[in-house]
Amino acid sequence: MGMSPEEFRRYGHQVVDWIAGYLAHPERYRVLPDVRPGEVAAALPHAGPEQGEPIEGILEDFERLIVPALTHWNHPGFMGYFAISSPGPGILGELLTAALNPNGMLWKTAPAVTELEQVTLGWLRRWLGLENDLFGLIFDTASTSSLHAIAAAREMADPETRQRGARGGLVLYTSAEAHSSIEKGAMALGIGRENVRRIPVDAEFRMRTDLLAEAIESDLAAGRRPFCVAATVGTTSTTSIDPVEAIAGLAEKHGLWLHVDAAYGGAAAILPEMRHVFRGVERADSLVINPHKWLFTPVDCSVLYTRRPEILRRAFSLVPEYLRTSEDERAVNLMDYGVPLGRRFRALKLWFVLRYYGREGLAARLRAHIAWARELAAQVEAHRDFELAAPAPFSVVCFRRKGTDEENRRLLDRVNASGEVFLSHTVLHGKFTLHLAIGNIGTTRGHVQRAWQIIQEQAGSAI
Protein backbone atom coordinates (compact mmCIF):
# COMPACT_ATOMS: atom_id res chain seq x y z
CA MET A 1 0.00 0.00 0.00
CA GLY A 2 1.17 3.57 -0.61
CA MET A 3 1.87 6.09 2.10
CA SER A 4 -1.43 7.19 3.60
CA PRO A 5 -2.25 10.90 3.69
CA GLU A 6 -2.11 10.73 7.51
CA GLU A 7 1.33 9.20 7.44
CA PHE A 8 2.47 11.74 4.88
CA ARG A 9 1.18 14.57 7.03
CA ARG A 10 2.96 13.25 10.12
CA TYR A 11 6.34 12.71 8.45
CA GLY A 12 5.91 15.78 6.28
CA HIS A 13 5.65 17.92 9.42
CA GLN A 14 8.66 16.14 10.87
CA VAL A 15 10.71 16.76 7.73
CA VAL A 16 9.68 20.41 7.50
CA ASP A 17 10.61 20.84 11.18
CA TRP A 18 13.98 19.28 10.46
CA ILE A 19 14.52 21.64 7.51
CA ALA A 20 13.53 24.67 9.58
CA GLY A 21 16.05 23.62 12.24
CA TYR A 22 18.70 23.12 9.58
CA LEU A 23 18.08 26.54 8.08
CA ALA A 24 18.15 28.13 11.54
CA HIS A 25 21.46 26.52 12.56
CA PRO A 26 23.46 25.32 9.55
CA GLU A 27 26.58 26.12 11.55
CA ARG A 28 25.94 23.03 13.68
CA TYR A 29 27.55 21.18 10.79
CA ARG A 30 31.06 21.35 9.42
CA VAL A 31 31.02 22.97 5.98
CA LEU A 32 33.45 20.35 4.73
CA PRO A 33 32.77 16.89 6.14
CA ASP A 34 35.44 14.83 7.82
CA VAL A 35 35.05 11.72 5.65
CA ARG A 36 37.28 9.61 3.45
CA PRO A 37 36.35 8.24 0.01
CA GLY A 38 34.30 5.06 0.31
CA GLU A 39 33.23 5.69 3.90
CA VAL A 40 29.60 6.54 3.11
CA ALA A 41 29.15 3.59 0.76
CA ALA A 42 30.73 1.23 3.30
CA ALA A 43 28.18 2.31 5.92
CA LEU A 44 25.26 1.47 3.62
CA PRO A 45 23.91 -1.98 2.69
CA HIS A 46 25.13 -3.40 -0.63
CA ALA A 47 21.65 -4.48 -1.66
CA GLY A 48 18.35 -2.62 -1.41
CA PRO A 49 15.70 -3.93 1.00
CA GLU A 50 13.40 -6.71 -0.19
CA GLN A 51 10.65 -5.47 2.08
CA GLY A 52 9.69 -1.81 2.42
CA GLU A 53 11.03 -0.04 5.51
CA PRO A 54 9.38 2.45 7.85
CA ILE A 55 10.11 6.11 7.27
CA GLU A 56 11.46 6.52 10.83
CA GLY A 57 14.46 4.35 10.00
CA ILE A 58 15.06 6.09 6.69
CA LEU A 59 14.99 9.51 8.34
CA GLU A 60 17.30 8.31 11.11
CA ASP A 61 19.84 7.05 8.59
CA PHE A 62 19.50 10.26 6.59
CA GLU A 63 20.52 12.24 9.66
CA ARG A 64 23.16 9.77 10.87
CA LEU A 65 24.86 8.72 7.63
CA ILE A 66 24.04 11.23 4.91
CA VAL A 67 23.92 14.71 6.43
CA PRO A 68 27.32 14.56 8.18
CA ALA A 69 28.90 13.28 4.96
CA LEU A 70 27.81 16.24 2.87
CA THR A 71 29.73 19.34 1.99
CA HIS A 72 27.20 21.91 3.12
CA TRP A 73 26.58 24.22 0.20
CA ASN A 74 23.73 25.85 2.10
CA HIS A 75 26.09 26.82 4.96
CA PRO A 76 26.98 30.52 5.32
CA GLY A 77 30.65 29.54 5.61
CA PHE A 78 30.59 27.96 2.17
CA MET A 79 32.73 30.31 0.09
CA GLY A 80 34.23 27.98 -2.50
CA TYR A 81 33.66 27.90 -6.27
CA PHE A 82 30.50 30.01 -6.57
CA ALA A 83 28.50 29.96 -3.35
CA ILE A 84 24.84 29.07 -3.84
CA SER A 85 21.65 29.09 -1.77
CA SER A 86 18.51 27.14 -1.12
CA PRO A 87 16.35 29.46 0.97
CA GLY A 88 12.88 28.74 2.34
CA PRO A 89 10.83 29.96 -0.64
CA GLY A 90 12.92 27.91 -3.06
CA ILE A 91 12.58 24.81 -0.88
CA LEU A 92 8.80 25.22 -0.74
CA GLY A 93 8.67 25.58 -4.52
CA GLU A 94 10.72 22.39 -4.92
CA LEU A 95 8.48 20.55 -2.48
CA LEU A 96 5.38 21.48 -4.44
CA THR A 97 7.07 20.60 -7.72
CA ALA A 98 7.76 17.12 -6.37
CA ALA A 99 4.17 16.84 -5.13
CA LEU A 100 2.60 17.76 -8.46
CA ASN A 101 5.29 16.09 -10.58
CA PRO A 102 4.09 17.61 -13.85
CA ASN A 103 6.06 16.95 -17.01
CA GLY A 104 6.14 20.03 -19.22
CA MET A 105 7.37 18.35 -22.37
CA LEU A 106 4.46 19.86 -24.31
CA TRP A 107 2.22 22.80 -23.51
CA LYS A 108 -0.68 20.37 -23.25
CA THR A 109 1.06 18.02 -20.82
CA ALA A 110 1.18 20.79 -18.20
CA PRO A 111 0.15 24.22 -19.54
CA ALA A 112 1.26 26.09 -16.42
CA VAL A 113 4.77 24.62 -16.61
CA THR A 114 5.34 26.19 -20.02
CA GLU A 115 3.54 29.44 -19.30
CA LEU A 116 5.02 30.08 -15.85
CA GLU A 117 8.46 29.42 -17.32
CA GLN A 118 7.83 32.03 -20.02
CA VAL A 119 6.42 34.53 -17.52
CA THR A 120 9.18 34.20 -14.89
CA LEU A 121 11.88 34.40 -17.54
CA GLY A 122 10.15 37.53 -18.89
CA TRP A 123 10.32 39.12 -15.41
CA LEU A 124 13.94 38.15 -15.01
CA ARG A 125 14.81 39.44 -18.48
CA ARG A 126 13.32 42.84 -17.68
CA TRP A 127 15.12 42.99 -14.34
CA LEU A 128 18.37 42.29 -16.17
CA GLY A 129 17.65 45.19 -18.54
CA LEU A 130 17.49 42.93 -21.58
CA GLU A 131 15.44 43.58 -24.67
CA ASN A 132 11.93 42.30 -25.16
CA ASP A 133 12.33 39.82 -27.94
CA LEU A 134 14.53 37.36 -26.08
CA PHE A 135 13.08 33.89 -25.82
CA GLY A 136 14.05 32.01 -22.67
CA LEU A 137 13.89 28.47 -21.43
CA ILE A 138 15.17 26.62 -18.42
CA PHE A 139 17.68 23.78 -18.48
CA ASP A 140 19.34 21.95 -15.63
CA THR A 141 22.78 23.55 -15.82
CA ALA A 142 24.80 26.14 -17.70
CA SER A 143 26.70 23.29 -19.30
CA THR A 144 23.48 22.12 -20.95
CA SER A 145 22.41 25.68 -21.82
CA SER A 146 25.74 26.43 -23.51
CA LEU A 147 25.69 23.13 -25.39
CA HIS A 148 22.32 24.13 -26.84
CA ALA A 149 23.65 27.57 -27.75
CA ILE A 150 26.59 26.02 -29.59
CA ALA A 151 24.23 23.61 -31.37
CA ALA A 152 22.13 26.59 -32.50
CA ALA A 153 25.29 28.34 -33.68
CA ARG A 154 26.14 25.30 -35.76
CA GLU A 155 22.61 25.12 -37.13
CA MET A 156 23.01 28.72 -38.30
CA ALA A 157 26.39 28.01 -39.93
CA ASP A 158 25.64 24.54 -41.23
CA PRO A 159 21.90 23.87 -41.60
CA GLU A 160 22.68 20.57 -43.33
CA THR A 161 24.17 19.08 -40.14
CA ARG A 162 20.80 18.02 -38.83
CA GLN A 163 20.24 15.79 -41.83
CA ARG A 164 23.69 14.80 -42.98
CA GLY A 165 25.76 14.88 -39.80
CA ALA A 166 28.68 17.15 -38.97
CA ARG A 167 30.93 18.16 -41.85
CA GLY A 168 33.90 19.46 -39.92
CA GLY A 169 35.93 22.58 -40.43
CA LEU A 170 33.92 24.70 -38.00
CA VAL A 171 35.86 26.71 -35.41
CA LEU A 172 34.68 28.04 -32.05
CA TYR A 173 36.42 30.81 -30.11
CA THR A 174 36.42 31.38 -26.38
CA SER A 175 38.91 32.68 -23.86
CA ALA A 176 41.57 30.77 -21.98
CA GLU A 177 39.58 31.61 -18.84
CA ALA A 178 36.21 30.36 -20.17
CA HIS A 179 34.48 27.59 -18.25
CA SER A 180 35.28 24.08 -19.46
CA SER A 181 31.60 23.61 -20.34
CA ILE A 182 32.12 25.60 -23.55
CA GLU A 183 34.84 23.27 -24.77
CA LYS A 184 32.91 20.26 -23.52
CA GLY A 185 29.84 21.41 -25.46
CA ALA A 186 31.96 21.65 -28.59
CA MET A 187 33.37 18.18 -27.87
CA ALA A 188 29.92 16.68 -27.40
CA LEU A 189 28.67 18.22 -30.63
CA GLY A 190 31.53 16.79 -32.65
CA ILE A 191 33.22 20.16 -33.26
CA GLY A 192 36.40 18.69 -31.79
CA ARG A 193 38.75 20.20 -29.22
CA GLU A 194 41.24 20.95 -31.98
CA ASN A 195 38.70 23.39 -33.36
CA VAL A 196 38.21 25.31 -30.14
CA ARG A 197 40.52 28.31 -29.92
CA ARG A 198 41.24 29.32 -26.34
CA ILE A 199 42.13 32.96 -26.93
CA PRO A 200 44.68 34.32 -24.42
CA VAL A 201 43.58 36.88 -21.85
CA ASP A 202 45.01 40.23 -20.77
CA ALA A 203 46.54 40.97 -17.37
CA GLU A 204 43.02 41.18 -15.90
CA PHE A 205 41.93 37.82 -17.37
CA ARG A 206 39.73 39.26 -20.15
CA MET A 207 39.71 37.85 -23.66
CA ARG A 208 42.20 39.67 -25.91
CA THR A 209 40.10 40.87 -28.84
CA ASP A 210 43.19 41.67 -30.93
CA LEU A 211 44.17 38.00 -30.67
CA LEU A 212 40.59 36.92 -31.33
CA ALA A 213 40.59 38.96 -34.55
CA GLU A 214 43.93 37.43 -35.58
CA ALA A 215 42.74 33.89 -34.86
CA ILE A 216 39.60 34.36 -36.93
CA GLU A 217 41.58 35.80 -39.85
CA SER A 218 44.10 33.01 -39.71
CA ASP A 219 41.36 30.32 -39.68
CA LEU A 220 39.61 31.99 -42.60
CA ALA A 221 42.88 32.14 -44.52
CA ALA A 222 43.34 28.41 -43.88
CA GLY A 223 39.89 27.66 -45.31
CA ARG A 224 38.29 26.84 -41.97
CA ARG A 225 34.88 28.15 -40.96
CA PRO A 226 34.62 30.28 -37.80
CA PHE A 227 31.04 29.86 -36.53
CA CYS A 228 30.75 30.80 -32.88
CA VAL A 229 32.36 32.91 -30.19
CA ALA A 230 31.59 32.44 -26.50
CA ALA A 231 32.34 35.39 -24.23
CA THR A 232 32.12 35.25 -20.45
CA VAL A 233 30.69 37.78 -18.01
CA GLY A 234 32.11 36.58 -14.72
CA THR A 235 34.69 33.89 -15.43
CA THR A 236 34.96 30.93 -13.12
CA SER A 237 38.39 31.62 -11.64
CA THR A 238 38.48 35.39 -11.25
CA THR A 239 35.02 36.65 -12.39
CA SER A 240 36.67 38.72 -15.11
CA ILE A 241 34.42 40.26 -17.74
CA ASP A 242 35.25 39.77 -21.41
CA PRO A 243 34.88 42.90 -23.61
CA VAL A 244 31.55 41.76 -25.02
CA GLU A 245 31.01 44.91 -27.12
CA ALA A 246 34.25 44.49 -29.05
CA ILE A 247 33.66 40.75 -29.37
CA ALA A 248 30.15 41.45 -30.70
CA GLY A 249 31.70 43.71 -33.35
CA LEU A 250 33.94 40.87 -34.55
CA ALA A 251 31.08 38.36 -34.39
CA GLU A 252 28.94 40.64 -36.55
CA LYS A 253 31.76 41.31 -39.00
CA HIS A 254 32.34 37.58 -39.56
CA GLY A 255 28.79 36.32 -39.15
CA LEU A 256 29.53 34.32 -35.98
CA TRP A 257 26.97 33.38 -33.36
CA LEU A 258 27.78 35.22 -30.13
CA HIS A 259 27.04 33.29 -26.96
CA VAL A 260 27.54 34.97 -23.57
CA ASP A 261 28.19 32.81 -20.52
CA ALA A 262 26.97 34.89 -17.60
CA ALA A 263 26.12 31.82 -15.52
CA TYR A 264 27.29 33.50 -12.32
CA GLY A 265 27.93 37.17 -13.12
CA GLY A 266 24.67 37.83 -14.97
CA ALA A 267 22.72 38.13 -11.73
CA ALA A 268 24.55 41.36 -10.93
CA ALA A 269 22.90 43.10 -13.92
CA ILE A 270 19.80 43.37 -11.70
CA LEU A 271 21.64 46.20 -9.96
CA PRO A 272 21.49 49.48 -11.90
CA GLU A 273 25.04 50.28 -10.79
CA MET A 274 26.25 46.93 -12.18
CA ARG A 275 24.30 47.01 -15.44
CA HIS A 276 27.53 47.93 -17.23
CA VAL A 277 28.66 44.30 -16.95
CA PHE A 278 26.09 43.55 -19.66
CA ARG A 279 27.41 46.18 -22.08
CA GLY A 280 27.24 44.59 -25.52
CA VAL A 281 25.14 41.64 -24.33
CA GLU A 282 22.13 43.05 -26.20
CA ARG A 283 24.00 42.10 -29.38
CA ALA A 284 24.48 38.46 -28.32
CA ASP A 285 22.59 35.66 -30.02
CA SER A 286 22.33 33.73 -26.78
CA LEU A 287 23.02 34.19 -23.11
CA VAL A 288 23.10 31.82 -20.17
CA ILE A 289 22.46 32.86 -16.59
CA ASN A 290 22.01 30.46 -13.68
CA PRO A 291 19.48 31.45 -11.02
CA HIS A 292 20.91 28.47 -9.13
CA LYS A 293 24.21 30.30 -8.80
CA TRP A 294 23.73 33.82 -7.49
CA LEU A 295 19.95 34.25 -7.54
CA PHE A 296 19.12 32.20 -4.47
CA THR A 297 17.29 29.44 -6.35
CA PRO A 298 17.93 25.80 -5.45
CA VAL A 299 19.98 23.70 -7.87
CA ASP A 300 19.11 23.08 -10.66
CA CYS A 301 17.95 26.08 -12.67
CA SER A 302 19.82 27.51 -15.64
CA VAL A 303 18.24 29.96 -18.07
CA LEU A 304 19.12 30.12 -21.75
CA TYR A 305 17.95 33.25 -23.55
CA THR A 306 18.18 33.61 -27.29
CA ARG A 307 17.30 36.20 -29.88
CA ARG A 308 17.00 33.43 -32.44
CA PRO A 309 14.63 30.81 -31.06
CA GLU A 310 13.72 29.77 -34.58
CA ILE A 311 17.29 28.57 -35.17
CA LEU A 312 17.41 26.69 -31.86
CA ARG A 313 14.09 25.12 -32.81
CA ARG A 314 15.35 24.16 -36.24
CA ALA A 315 18.31 22.42 -34.60
CA PHE A 316 16.18 20.37 -32.22
CA SER A 317 12.56 20.02 -33.25
CA LEU A 318 11.60 16.45 -34.13
CA VAL A 319 7.98 15.58 -33.47
CA PRO A 320 6.74 11.99 -33.62
CA GLU A 321 3.03 11.42 -34.13
CA TYR A 322 2.39 10.48 -30.50
CA LEU A 323 3.59 13.92 -29.38
CA ARG A 324 1.36 15.93 -31.72
CA THR A 325 -1.41 17.98 -30.14
CA SER A 326 -4.25 20.09 -31.43
CA GLU A 327 -2.61 23.15 -29.81
CA ASP A 328 0.69 22.82 -31.70
CA GLU A 329 -0.04 25.86 -33.87
CA ARG A 330 -0.98 28.11 -30.98
CA ALA A 331 1.27 27.04 -28.12
CA VAL A 332 4.98 26.77 -27.37
CA ASN A 333 6.11 23.19 -26.86
CA LEU A 334 9.40 23.48 -25.01
CA MET A 335 10.57 20.03 -26.11
CA ASP A 336 11.12 21.61 -29.55
CA TYR A 337 14.00 23.73 -28.26
CA GLY A 338 16.42 21.15 -26.94
CA VAL A 339 17.49 17.59 -26.28
CA PRO A 340 15.33 16.76 -23.25
CA LEU A 341 11.75 15.73 -23.80
CA GLY A 342 10.71 15.67 -20.15
CA ARG A 343 10.74 18.98 -18.31
CA ARG A 344 10.75 19.45 -14.55
CA PHE A 345 8.65 22.29 -13.15
CA ARG A 346 11.73 24.34 -12.27
CA ALA A 347 9.95 27.61 -12.94
CA LEU A 348 7.84 27.11 -9.81
CA LYS A 349 10.75 27.50 -7.39
CA LEU A 350 12.07 30.41 -9.44
CA TRP A 351 8.65 32.08 -9.26
CA PHE A 352 8.57 31.58 -5.48
CA VAL A 353 12.03 33.10 -5.12
CA LEU A 354 11.43 36.06 -7.45
CA ARG A 355 8.11 36.87 -5.78
CA TYR A 356 9.22 36.32 -2.20
CA TYR A 357 12.27 38.59 -2.42
CA GLY A 358 11.20 40.92 -5.23
CA ARG A 359 13.73 42.72 -7.37
CA GLU A 360 14.71 45.06 -4.57
CA GLY A 361 15.20 42.24 -2.09
CA LEU A 362 17.44 40.36 -4.48
CA ALA A 363 19.32 43.52 -5.42
CA ALA A 364 19.95 44.43 -1.77
CA ARG A 365 21.53 41.03 -1.13
CA LEU A 366 23.70 41.12 -4.24
CA ARG A 367 24.79 44.65 -3.41
CA ALA A 368 25.83 43.58 0.08
CA HIS A 369 27.80 40.61 -1.26
CA ILE A 370 29.66 42.88 -3.66
CA ALA A 371 30.39 45.40 -0.89
CA TRP A 372 31.75 42.71 1.47
CA ALA A 373 33.93 41.32 -1.33
CA ARG A 374 35.32 44.81 -1.99
CA GLU A 375 35.98 45.32 1.71
CA LEU A 376 37.83 42.01 1.89
CA ALA A 377 39.80 42.78 -1.28
CA ALA A 378 40.93 46.07 0.29
CA GLN A 379 41.93 44.29 3.51
CA VAL A 380 43.93 41.72 1.57
CA GLU A 381 45.66 44.45 -0.39
CA ALA A 382 46.52 46.37 2.74
CA HIS A 383 47.99 43.31 4.50
CA ARG A 384 51.75 42.96 4.27
CA ASP A 385 51.65 39.13 4.07
CA PHE A 386 48.93 38.80 1.42
CA GLU A 387 48.36 39.93 -2.13
CA LEU A 388 45.32 40.27 -4.36
CA ALA A 389 45.64 38.04 -7.43
CA ALA A 390 42.94 39.63 -9.60
CA PRO A 391 40.42 42.49 -9.57
CA ALA A 392 37.19 41.65 -7.74
CA PRO A 393 34.34 43.06 -9.89
CA PHE A 394 31.63 40.88 -8.30
CA SER A 395 31.56 38.91 -5.04
CA VAL A 396 34.66 36.76 -5.47
CA VAL A 397 38.09 37.60 -4.12
CA CYS A 398 41.20 35.82 -5.42
CA PHE A 399 44.30 36.22 -3.29
CA ARG A 400 47.31 34.47 -1.89
CA ARG A 401 49.73 34.63 0.96
CA LYS A 402 53.01 36.02 -0.29
CA GLY A 403 55.04 32.84 -0.47
CA THR A 404 55.25 29.55 -2.30
CA ASP A 405 52.47 27.50 -3.90
CA GLU A 406 53.05 24.82 -1.29
CA GLU A 407 52.55 27.31 1.55
CA ASN A 408 49.29 28.49 -0.01
CA ARG A 409 48.10 24.94 -0.60
CA ARG A 410 48.75 24.09 3.05
CA LEU A 411 47.07 27.29 4.16
CA LEU A 412 43.94 26.38 2.19
CA ASP A 413 43.89 22.88 3.69
CA ARG A 414 44.20 24.28 7.22
CA VAL A 415 41.48 26.87 6.64
CA ASN A 416 39.11 24.25 5.25
CA ALA A 417 39.96 21.82 8.05
CA SER A 418 38.47 24.38 10.46
CA GLY A 419 35.00 23.20 9.37
CA GLU A 420 33.82 26.80 9.74
CA VAL A 421 34.58 27.98 6.28
CA PHE A 422 35.26 26.44 2.88
CA LEU A 423 37.26 28.14 0.16
CA SER A 424 38.45 26.75 -3.16
CA HIS A 425 41.49 27.52 -5.28
CA THR A 426 42.62 28.30 -8.77
CA VAL A 427 45.91 28.95 -10.53
CA LEU A 428 46.52 32.47 -11.83
CA HIS A 429 49.62 33.53 -13.75
CA GLY A 430 50.98 30.11 -12.81
CA LYS A 431 50.52 30.62 -9.07
CA PHE A 432 48.31 28.74 -6.64
CA THR A 433 45.59 31.15 -5.54
CA LEU A 434 42.82 31.10 -2.95
CA HIS A 435 39.31 31.80 -4.26
CA LEU A 436 36.72 33.15 -1.82
CA ALA A 437 33.17 33.47 -3.16
CA ILE A 438 30.37 35.22 -1.32
CA GLY A 439 26.93 34.16 -2.50
CA ASN A 440 25.03 32.16 0.09
CA ILE A 441 21.97 34.03 1.27
CA GLY A 442 22.80 33.26 4.92
CA THR A 443 26.31 34.68 4.69
CA THR A 444 26.76 37.94 6.56
CA ARG A 445 29.59 40.44 6.70
CA GLY A 446 30.49 38.74 9.99
CA HIS A 447 31.01 35.40 8.26
CA VAL A 448 33.28 36.99 5.66
CA GLN A 449 35.30 38.76 8.32
CA ARG A 450 35.50 35.57 10.37
CA ALA A 451 36.83 33.75 7.28
CA TRP A 452 39.48 36.45 6.88
CA GLN A 453 40.40 36.08 10.55
CA ILE A 454 40.77 32.28 10.19
CA ILE A 455 42.88 32.75 7.06
CA GLN A 456 45.23 35.13 8.84
CA GLU A 457 45.44 32.91 11.93
CA GLN A 458 46.18 29.84 9.86
CA ALA A 459 48.78 31.77 7.89
CA GLY A 460 50.46 32.54 11.18
CA SER A 461 50.46 36.22 10.38
CA ALA A 462 49.64 39.12 12.59
CA ILE A 463 46.03 40.23 12.33
- Whether the CB-CB separation of 121 and 332 falls below 8 Å is answered with no
Report how far residue 103's alpha carbon sits from residue 367's, in angstroms, rounded to the nearest whole number: 36
User: Is the CB of 181 or the CB of 458 nearer to ligand PLP?
Assistant: 181
User: Is the CB of 392 or the CB of 454 nearer to ligand PLP?
Assistant: 392
User: Is the CB of 90 or the CB of 234 nearer to ligand PLP?
Assistant: 234
Contact track, ligand PLP, 154-183, x by CB under 6 A: -------------------------x-x--
User: Is the CB of 263 or the CB of 295 nearer to ligand PLP?
Assistant: 263
- Whether the CB-CB separation of 368 and 105 falls below 8 Å is answered with no
Which 277-336 residues touch ligand PLP, going by CB under 6 A? 290, 302
Residues, the chain = 463
Report how far residue 6's alpha carbon sits from residue 200's, in angstroms, rounded to the nearest whole number: 61
User: Is the CB of 181 or the CB of 443 nearer to ligand PLP?
Assistant: 181
C-alpha to C-alpha distances, 408 to 33, 132, 392, 402, nearest whole angstrom: 21, 47, 19, 8
Do the strands 422-428 and 78-79 form a parallel or antiparallel pair, or are they unpaired?
parallel
User: Is the CB of 114 or the CB of 143 nearer to ligand PLP?
Assistant: 143
Please, what is the angle between helix 142-157 and helix 309-316, to 10°? 90
Contact track, ligand PLP, 360-399, x by CB under 6 A: ----------------------------------------
Coil, strand or helix: which one is 259?
A: strand
User: Is the CB of 85 or the CB of 333 nearer to ligand PLP?
Assistant: 85
**Does residue 261 bind ligand PLP (CB under 6 A)?**
yes
**Does residue 236 bind ligand PLP (CB under 6 A)?**
yes
Cα Rg of the chain, angstroms:
24
Find the shortest distance in angstroms from Cβ 47 to ligand PLP: 32
- Whether the CB-CB separation of 197 and 173 falls below 8 Å is answered with yes
Find the shortest distance in angstroms from Cβ 145 to ligand PLP: 8
Report how far residue 76's alpha carbon sits from residue 167's, in angstroms, rounded to the nearest whole number: 49
Find the shortest distance in angstroms from Cβ 294 to ligand PLP: 10
- Which stretch in 183-191, 232-240, 247-255, 344-352 sits in contact with ligand PLP by CB under 6 A? 232-240
Residue 151 DSSP symbol: H
Report how far residue 293's alpha carbon sits from residue 277's, in angstroms, rounded to the nearest whole number: 17
**Does residue 264 bind ligand PLP (CB under 6 A)?**
yes
**Does residue 141 bind ligand PLP (CB under 6 A)?**
yes
Find, among 419, 422, 162, 122, the residue nearest to 313 by Cα.
Answer: 162
- Which stretch in 9-17, 135-143, 319-327, 351-359 sits in contact with ligand PLP by CB under 6 A? 135-143
User: Is the CB of 141 or the CB of 209 nearer to ligand PLP?
Assistant: 141
Q: Which of 109, 209, 232, 424 binds ligand PLP (CB under 6 A)?
A: 232
Q: Which of 142, 229, 332, 353 binds ligand PLP (CB under 6 A)?
A: 142
Find the shortest distance in angstroms from Cβ 448 to ligand PLP: 20
**Does residue 139 bind ligand PLP (CB under 6 A)?**
no
**Does residue 143 bind ligand PLP (CB under 6 A)?**
yes
- H or E element at residue 431: strand 431-437
Find the shortest distance in angstroms from Cβ 42 to ligand PLP: 29
Find the shortest distance in angstroms from Cβ 288 to ligand PLP: 7
- 89 CB-side CA count, 13 A: 17
Find the shortest distance in angstroms from Cβ 265 to ligand PLP: 7
Find, among 349, 382, 431, 441, the residue nearest to 73 by Cα.
Answer: 441
Strand order across the beta sheet in which 386-388 lies: 78-79, 422-428, 431-437, 396-401, 386-388
Q: Which residues in this chain contact ligand PLP in the complex, by CB under 6 A?
A: 82, 141-143, 179, 181, 232, 234-236, 261, 263-264, 290, 302
